[in-house]
Amino acid sequence: MTTPENAIKGTPFAKAYFPPTRLAVSGLFLLNGMFAGAWAPKIPEFAGRLSLSESGLGLMIMCFGIGSLVLMPVAGILIAHYGTMRIVKGAAVLFLSTMLLLSVTTTVPLGALAVFLFGGLMGAMDVAMNGNAVEVERSMRRAIMSSCHAFWSLGAFLGAATGGVLIEMIGVMGHAVLLTVLGVVMLAFLWPFVLHDAPHPSEERAKVRLPMTPLPWLIGLMALFSMVPEGAILDWGALYMRDELGASLAVSGLAFGAFSLTMATMRFAGDHVRDRFGAVKTLRFCTVMAMVGMVISGMAPNAFVAVLGFAICGIGISNMVPIAFSAAGNLPGFAQGVALSVATVMGYSGALFAPSVIGFIAEHTGFSIIFTLLPALFVVVLLLSHHAVHADVRERL
């Protein structure tokens, strides 16, 4: 008997737009995002368990970024040798154990190791699942990267929103065990549907080393300058609203809230926009929108205008990084994993480390001028935007 579910799966629309491989890689992004989001409500308890001061916690969180920057290139090299499927599965299996490790450590050295592995394996899985998404794009001949990143944002929201409640209800270890079991079940379900790929012949002949030509680094620069403002809004938007615009605590939270809401919404729509108008036009439109939104926020006369600016900025930034990652993963003549790891490492280093530099500068200048001048980075993205043509894979297959 044909069920409605089977009927839907058998339609040409479902086969064209939602093959199992696309659903699988989207699920991997959701899983990675859930664990990333679940870490946020655990931080205060983690700091208390290890008796960390604010500066000590800052150094501990820095281990997260160092772990990502160390293991991301390793994942890229392994992808070039073995393909994305093996690496994303292996990284996911190891990554699922890190939440338990974070919850049982009682000493600072073990805590630093746990945070290093958490950030490193999250980053390694990130490179591999972005690479697998590129392969799915090639097989489908249409863009899916933006929606994949939207699933990551959705997972991060779910992990963060439920983490505090679960920790209060069942404790730190209960939360870690529940999340790990859920992650194992999700991964087991997704496991057989992850797209099987192998290194392309050109990649097998290519030497697996850092690219010696500028193109991968230029695309990495696009990713970097797209993610620095995102990190600035995440870390400093609420403080800017409260201290310089006189917003209440509730209104201050709307800075990143409005930004993340419009960003997630536009990421779900971004693939269709890119398929219709092409990556270059889409990137240029998004970059201009991000510039307009950031300037409005920086020059806002009051908090509500700033929230509007951050919302517009979210519309713009939403698809800039996914396009950069797609372009890096599709560069002709380069090992996919290596070129993609260059873009991801450069991009995420902006989100991880630039906000601390911004905070130091803002102590002397204020955040208003920072947000007003950050669009200068987007000018560089506009100048490099013609390289986004490599993200359009449909005509090359």
CATH number at residue 195: 1.20.1250.20
Domain that includes residue 369, residue range:
214-396
Look up residue 185 and give its two tokens.
Answer: 């079940």
Task: Answer whether residue 1 is part of any domain.
Answer: no
Give how far the C-alpha of residue 97 lies from the chain's centroid of Cα atoms, to the nearest Å.
20
Q: Are residues 49 and 188 in the same domain?
A: yes
Task: Answer whether residue 4 is part of any domain.
Answer: no
Question: CA 166, CA 330: separation in Å to the nearest integer?
Answer: 41
Task: Answer whether residue 81 is part of any domain.
Answer: yes
Check residue 165 and give its pLDDT: 82
The segments of the chain whose pLDDT lies below 50 read: 1-9, 13, 201-207, 395-397
Check residue 364 and give its pLDDT: 84
Domain end: 170, 199, 228, which one? Answer: 199
* Helix-strand-coil split of the chain, %, nearest 5: 85, 0, 15
Check residue 394 and give its pLDDT: 52
Q: At what angle do helices 320-329 and 303-317 cross, to 10 degrees?
A: 20
Q: Are residues 57 and 140 in the same domain?
A: yes
Q: Are residues 94 and 176 in the same domain?
A: yes
Task: Answer whether residue 6 is part of any domain.
Answer: no
* Closest to 148 (Cα-Cα) out of 134, 162, 168: 134
Domain end: 199, 226, 257, which one? Answer: 199
Check residue 181 and give its pLDDT: 96
Residue entry with tokens 């950031």: 294
Task: Answer whether residue 331 is part of any domain.
Answer: yes
Check residue 5 and give its pLDDT: 43
Residue 110's H or E segment, with its range, is helix 108-140
Q: Tell me if 262 sits within 8 A of 315, measured CB to CB.
A: yes
Look up residue 297 and give its two tokens.
Answer: 């926020």
Q: Tell me if 27 sits within 8 A of 20, measured CB to CB.
A: no
Question: CA 83, CA 140: separation in Å to the nearest integer?
Answer: 18
Domain end: 150, 176, 199, which one? Answer: 199
What DSSP string runs through 17-30? H--HHHHHHHHHHH
Task: Answer whether residue 390 is part of any domain.
Answer: yes
Task: Answer whether residue 12 is part of any domain.
Answer: no
Q: Looking at the 3D structure of the chain, how many domains does it have?
A: 2
What are 241-294's pLDDT values in tens digits?
888 888 876 677 677 778 878 888 888 888 888 888 888 999 999 999 999 999
Check residue 293 and give its pLDDT: 95
Task: Answer whether residue 131 is part of any domain.
Answer: yes
